[in-house]
Amino acid sequence: MEAKAPLSALVLAVSAALCGCGGSGGGGSARLEWPVMGTVAAVQARGCEPTLARDAAKPVFAEVERLLNAHDPNSELSSLAKLDDAEVLAKCTPSMRPCYEAAFRMREESGGVFNPRWRGPGTMDLGAIAKGFAVDLAAERMRGAGAAAKDGTLLDLGGNLKAVAGDWRVGVFGGKGEMFTLREGEAAATSGEYFRGRHIHDGRTGGEAGAKVYSVTVIHPSSAMMADALSTTLFILGREKGEAFLRARHPEARAIWIE
* pLDDT at position 17 over 50: no
Say which range, 37-41, 115-119, 163-167, 190-194, has the weakest mean pLDDT.
190-194
* pLDDT at position 159 over 60: yes
Domain assignments of the chain as residue spans, ordered by start? 7-258
Q: What is the pLDDT of residue 34?
A: 97
- Alpha-helical (H) ranges within 70-129 are 76-80, 85-91, 97-109
Q: What is the pLDDT of residue 7?
A: 26
Contact status, residue 188 vs residue 170, Cβ threshold 8 Å: yes
Residue-wise burial string across 182-193, b where 16 or more C-beta atoms lie within 10 A, e elsewhere: beeebbbbbbbb
Span 173-187, pLDDT tens digits: 766 668 899 999 999
The CATH class that applies to domain 7-258 reads alpha beta
Mean pLDDT of 57-69: 98
More reliable by pLDDT, 105 or 47: 105
pTM of the complete model? 0.88
Mean pLDDT for all residues in the chain: 86
* pLDDT at position 160 over 90: yes
Helices 224-237 and 97-109: angle between axes, nearest 10 degrees: 30
Q: What is the pLDDT of residue 10?
A: 23
Q: What is the pLDDT of residue 48?
A: 87
Say which range, 54-58, 96-100, 162-166, 205-209, has the weakest mean pLDDT.
205-209
More reliable by pLDDT, 201 or 25: 201
Mean pLDDT of 47-62: 95
Q: What is the pLDDT of residue 1?
A: 62
Span 188-237, pLDDT tens digits: 999 886 544 456 777 667 666 665 788 899 999 999 999 999 999 999 99
Mean pLDDT of 76-97: 98
More reliable by pLDDT, 206 or 39: 39
Q: What is the pLDDT of residue 6?
A: 28
Q: Would you tell me how many other CB atoms lie within 10 Å of the CB of residue 95?
A: 12
Q: What is the pLDDT of residue 188?
A: 97
Helices (H) and strands (E) in the chain, counts: 8, 10
